[in-house]
Amino acid sequence: MGTQYCFTLFAATLFSAATFAQADLESKLKLLEQQRTDLQSKEVSMTARVDSAKLAIVRRDLVKWGVPALVEGEEVIVHPGHMLVYSEKHEQPKWTAHIATPDLIEGRLARIDSFLPDPLVKTGTAVTADYWYSGFDRGHMVPSADMRWNFDALQGTYLYSNISPQVADLNRGRWAELEDWGRRYVYHTKRRVFVATGPVLRDGLPTMQKADRKNEVSIPEYFWKIYADLDGDAPKAIAFVMSNAKQEYPVISYAVPVDSVEKLTGIDFFPDLDDALEDRIEALATTSNWYSDNDPKAGEVAPLKAPLPKGMFNSTQAKYHVGKTVTVCGTVVSSRTTVKAKAVYLNFDTANPDEDFYATIWQNNTVNFSYDPETWLLNKKICVTGKVTMFDEVPRISINNEKELMLYEDAIAAP
């Protein structure tokens, strides 16, 4: 009996100790969870303070460099991530200005899609009834994707003061690609970009004729966007103009100097820059210096401007001539020999896999060339003649020998 009693007492002691230990572990877990909650709360608070400071810097630098010159009677509307001047006459922004910062790379906030009137515009803005079932998209001038790193800045892009009526084929097509083009520069360079955007407004524009409309919203014929990298020792700027319709050519085909947008709109951009610097960057129209070495699209060029002489066609036009024997001209921006087929592929204007057209020289035809076409033709403007076929929805021409290929300058000089 004594032994059994001792064993029972020992077991009870262990059970009691385990119970106390378990209670201690649960208390410790609760304490750790509370500490984690406190840290998360502090992190949210600190993130908000950091974002507030970042947005304050954006607004400061917009005022310093990025806001166009004002004319009498104009008022700058200031939102967390962008600024604008509203055109009451046309019920849309005359221009918007913002800075696309590297913060957009990590931005993960979802689209809001809750469009609201802008309470800061004293005369009132357009409203949902003006756009709903109008046949036009509500086109953001400041892209919401540029602001998905901060909710207040994102929310500001859904105010009607930032909206202009765009044809769906433009808004969801090349215009969206243009916005991506600017973000890609930020992504690959980790640099800030000043962005100004707007419609081309003039007297006599048609308005959206909805029976239940509340405002007379003008329908622009053209839209423009300006990118400027003003940080550092090599400032630069470039502009784009697109008509309010489906655009056929790649984005870079619509690049123009900033001063041409000034002539088109009457707006004076970058008025606070040194005059000599302003004149220099506003005359730039090249897109080549907007690509970093690690950008997969580096090296792309605009298709040759149509119409080409003597019935020739550029890389964008090739798709309209499938099944026909024609001459297609462009710049060989990349070339490669495939491992399996041992064929030489010459990509015109844009590298694989985004090319609009390519030429193929099959392995058994490479002997018909006095040079190595893969290396010698790279970065040259050439014209190829043959039957256009489609492969994986991309038009191509197969080249059999040198006679079916010419340098572009020789082709246009030929009698």
Tens-place pLDDT, residues 352-383: 888 999 999 998 998 999 999 999 999 999 99
CA distances from 83 to 249, 353, 386 (A): 30, 38, 53
The pLDDT-based confidence of 244 (bands split at 50, 70, 90) is very high
Do 108 and 208 have their domain in common?
yes
Residue 105 lies in a domain: yes
How far is it between the farthest Cα atoms of the chain?
123
Question: Could you give phi then psi for residue 316, rounded to 5 degrees?
Answer: -70, -35
List residues bridging with 359 in a β-sheet.
Answer: 346, 397
Going by their DSSP bridges, the two strands 92-100 and 358-361 should be labelled as: unpaired
Do 252 and 353 have their domain in common?
no
Do 318 and 276 have their domain in common?
no
Distance of CA 280 to the CA centre of its chain: 25
Query: Which distant-in-sequence residues (6+ apart) come within 8 Å of 328 by Cβ?
Result: 312, 313, 314, 315, 317, 318, 321, 348, 357, 359, 383, 384, 385, 388, 397
Residue 167 lies in a domain: yes
Domain boundary pick from 255, 290, 325: 290
Tokens matching residue 85: 């001047």
Do 313 and 286 have their domain in common?
no
The pLDDT-based confidence of 70 (bands split at 50, 70, 90) is very high
Place of tokens 């007379």: 216
Do 317 and 285 have their domain in common?
no
Give the per-residue pLDDT at 401: 94
Give the per-residue pLDDT at 25: 87
Q: Which of 93, 48, 81 is nearest to 154 (CA)?
A: 81
Residue 200 lies in a domain: yes
Do 76 and 208 have their domain in common?
yes
Residue 33 lies in a domain: no
Residue 10 predicted with pLDDT over 80: no
The pLDDT-based confidence of 390 (bands split at 50, 70, 90) is very high
Residue 42 predicted with pLDDT over 90: no
Rounded to whole angstroms, the Cα distance separating 101 from 405 reads 45
Evaluate whether 382 touches 330 at the Cβ level (below 8 Å): yes
Give the per-residue pLDDT at 16: 58
Do 152 and 270 have their domain in common?
yes
Do 313 and 271 have their domain in common?
no
The pLDDT-based confidence of 29 (bands split at 50, 70, 90) is confident
Residue 128 lies in a domain: yes
The pLDDT-based confidence of 6 (bands split at 50, 70, 90) is low
pLDDT in tens, 126-162: 999 999 999 999 999 999 999 999 999 999 999 999 9
Domain boundary pick from 242, 262, 290: 290
Q: What is the mean pLDDT of residues 311-334?
A: 96
Domain CATH number, residue 244? 3.40.570.10
Going by their DSSP bridges, the two strands 236-243 and 222-229 should be labelled as: antiparallel
Give the per-residue pLDDT at 352: 87
Domain CATH number, residue 400? 2.40.50.140
Give the per-residue pLDDT at 385: 96
359 is in which domain, residue-wise?
309-413
Domain boundary pick from 246, 261, 290: 290
% of the chain surpassing 90 pLDDT: 81
Q: Which of 143, 139, 159 is nearest to 79 (CA)?
A: 159
Rounded to whole angstroms, the Cα distance separating 259 from 269 reads 8
- Domains in the chain, number: 2
Give the per-residue pLDDT at 3: 57
The pLDDT-based confidence of 340 (bands split at 50, 70, 90) is confident
Average pLDDT of every residue of the chain: 93
Q: Look up the pTM and report it.
A: 0.89
Q: Which of 166, 157, 163 is nearest to 92 (CA)?
A: 163
Do 281 and 317 have their domain in common?
no
